[in-house]
Amino acid sequence: MKIVQIEYLVKQGAFSRSTAWRKILREIKAAIAAVVWPSQSDFFALILV
């Protein structure tokens, strides 16, 4: 999957500028990039167990 836009719902305070937040954001982006849409499929679902 490719991220085309990021919308921040809340981006205030020191945490939004922290090293911890940057690490979390990198991990989220990497996880999304690792998702592959199944070829020849009309739909895609993530099932969380």
What domain range is 33 assigned to?
Answer: 14-41
Residue 47 has pLDDT above 70, yes or no: no
Mind giving me the DSSP string for 11-30?
--TTGGGSHHHHHHHHHHHH
Q: Which pTM does this prediction carry?
A: 0.66
Q: Is residue 20 part of a domain?
A: yes
In a domain, 46, yes or no: no
Residue 2 lies in a domain: no
pLDDT at 45: 67
Which is higher by pLDDT, 46 or 34? 34
Using CA atoms, how far apart are residues 24 and 33, in angstroms rounded to an integer?
A: 14
Residue 30 domain-assigned? yes
Residue 9, domain member (yes or no): no
For the stretch 19-44, pLDDT in tens is 999 999 999 888 888 887 778 887 77
Overall domain count for the chain? 1
